[in-house]
Amino acid sequence: MKATPSRVLIAVFIAMSLAMLMVSCAPTPKSNIVSSGEIRVYEVFGMDCPGCHGGLEKLVKAVDGVVAAQASWQEKRLTVTVAEGAELSDDAIREAIARANFSSGERLK
Amino acid sequence: MRRLSTNLRVCLLCLLCTTNAGLAGISLDTGLTPAEGRWILRTQMRVMSRDAPVGLGDRSMDRLMVPLVVVHATSPKLIIGARQIYESRTMTMNGMETTTSGLNDLYFFAKYKVLRVNTRTYTLGIAPIMGIEPPTGAVDISSESWDLYAGLYASGRAGPWALDFNVGYDARGIAGVTHDSAEPGDELGLDLALSRQIPLGGSGRTTLAPVLELIWRDVGANTSGGTDLPNSGETTLRIAPGLKYTIDSLIIEGLVSIPVAHDPTGLQLEAGTMGLLGIRWMF
């Protein structure tokens, strides 16, 4: 079979798509499995699809004192697990939410 | 033979004139800038075919494009990105087939968030974009000129509904000219996309969104010495139904772009249907 440019293009596209699919669907550590620590729940507005979670959780988890973070676009909520004994202000969490281009509402828990 | 060669070059010129017009579709989320530190990797496969109007000879053009786009949110307000398209074009004229393939021009862009309103019931985002496309592409694929792009993207969300609007102006040939000493015509584009998101299963990890896009392009005629060149420039209106499937940070999208109105200025090939299949990964 002759390797025409079109066939090469299709092969490149399929290979890249498969690579993205495999990396994206690879098992990731559950961010909400934490046996101890304070649990806080915040309202978050602006999330509208499953793809919104990753960026927000990544920024919140980078805050000092945060052990885990899990967002739900359907419930418009962010659940944060704080390390035992850590001093963590709500402002630090709200700042991380703002850096994700979302808006924080009330702290529900 | 010389006449055939000239005709092929006219075809190529017309094709270059519509280079960016072929890149429309799946314009969702454009006004909503991503979270700081977020990377987005996106690739698509676009297939387009154009034929000569009935009675105007045996001419056709098949085009396959695989764009790769990389985007990074350097701050909550600013995202930067680059796009590279690998392209293959096959032109047929009176039974003679010519295929050209290679990398198209690199495109660099920056988008800036000017407005983002998030409320309990709706989300609104507006972000202007600027881009530049130096002539880095392969011979007969590149536009052979420096092009500047400026646009304004707006996105609104209310419940499961999403509305996106893009307006963009592509100032082409700000420096450099084609091998025919022609200055490529500018392009004005409007895109309107409506979609409705349907959650699949109870976990919220997957959604399916039917999409309907309206795509309008007005491409100016190429000029040489201040005179419009014949058989270049066109106005096209397309309707594009499609589907977007999201699973976590991965989006698989596809649409069919159908021309509903085409106003060429000369003997250009008719606007054809375009098929698109794409994948987007955010990390």
Residue A94 belongs to a domain? yes
Residue A3 belongs to a domain? no
CB atoms B76 and A101 under 8 Å: yes
Q: Which residue has the higher pLDDT, B47 or B178?
A: B47
pLDDT of residue A29: 45
CB atoms B36 and A59 under 8 Å: yes
This prediction has a pTM of: 0.83
Judge whether B71 is closer than 8 Å to chain A, CB to CB.
no
- Tell me the DSSP string of A75-109: TTEEEEEEPTT----HHHHHHHHHHTT-EEEEE--
Indicate if the pLDDT at residue B28 is higher than 60: no
Indicate if the pLDDT at residue B254 is higher than 80: yes
Best CA proximity match to B41, nearest among A59, A6, A23: A23
Residue B107's domain is classified under what CATH number?
Answer: 2.40.128.130
Q: Which of A24, A45, A100 sits opposite B248 (nearest CB)?
A: A24
pLDDT band at A10 (very low <50, low <70, confident <90, very high): low
The residue segments making up the domain with residue A62 are 38-107
Residue whose tokens read 């596809």: B254
Residue A92 belongs to a domain? yes
Q: What is the pLDDT of residues B75-99, one digit of tens each?
A: 999 999 999 999 999 988 888 889 9
ipTM of model: 0.82
Residue A96's domain is classified under what CATH number?
Answer: 3.30.70.100
Indicate if the pLDDT at residue A16 is higher than 80: no
The residue segments making up the domain with residue B40 are 2-282
Please provide the average confidence, as pLDDT, over all residues in chain B.
Answer: 85
B256-267 b/e (C-beta count within 10 Å ≥ 16 → b): ebebeebebbeb
Beta bridge partners of B77: none
Residue A60 belongs to a domain? yes
The domain total for chain A is 1
Q: What percent of chain B has pLDDT over 70?
A: 87
Residue A80 belongs to a domain? yes
Beta bridge partners of B30: none
B173: left (phi over 0), alpha (psi -120 to 50) or beta: left
Judge whether A76 is closer than 8 Å to chain B, CB to CB.
yes
pLDDT of residue B233: 85
A73: left (phi over 0), alpha (psi -120 to 50) or beta: alpha
Give dist(CA A20, CA B282) in Å, integer: 10
Per-window interface: B 130-189 vs A, CB < 8 A: 157, 162
- Identify the burial level of B55 via C-beta atoms within 10 angstroms of its C-beta, where 0-12 means exposed, 13-18 middle and 19 or more buried: exposed
B230-250 b/e (C-beta count within 10 Å ≥ 16 → b): ebbbbbbbbebebebebbbbb
Judge whether B201 is closer than 8 Å to chain A, CB to CB.
no
pLDDT of residue B13: 46
CB atoms B249 and A51 under 8 Å: yes
Q: Which residue has the higher pLDDT, B216 or B180?
A: B216
Residues 6+ apart with CB under 8 A from B44: A13, B26, B65, B66, B67, B253, B276, B277, B278, B279
Judge whether B69 is closer than 8 Å to chain A, CB to CB.
no
For residue A46, give the 3-state DSSP assignment: coil
The domain total for chain B is 1
Q: Which of A12, A24, A45 sits opposite B120 (nearest CB)?
A: A45
Enter the tokens of residue A37.
């620590």
Q: What is the pLDDT of residues A68-103, one digit of tens each?
A: 999 999 999 999 999 988 888 999 999 999 999 999
pLDDT band at A26 (very low <50, low <70, confident <90, very high): low
Indicate if the pLDDT at residue B149 is higher than 80: yes
Q: Which of A30-44, B178-192, B239-253 has the highest mean pLDDT?
A: B239-253
pLDDT of residue B22: 45
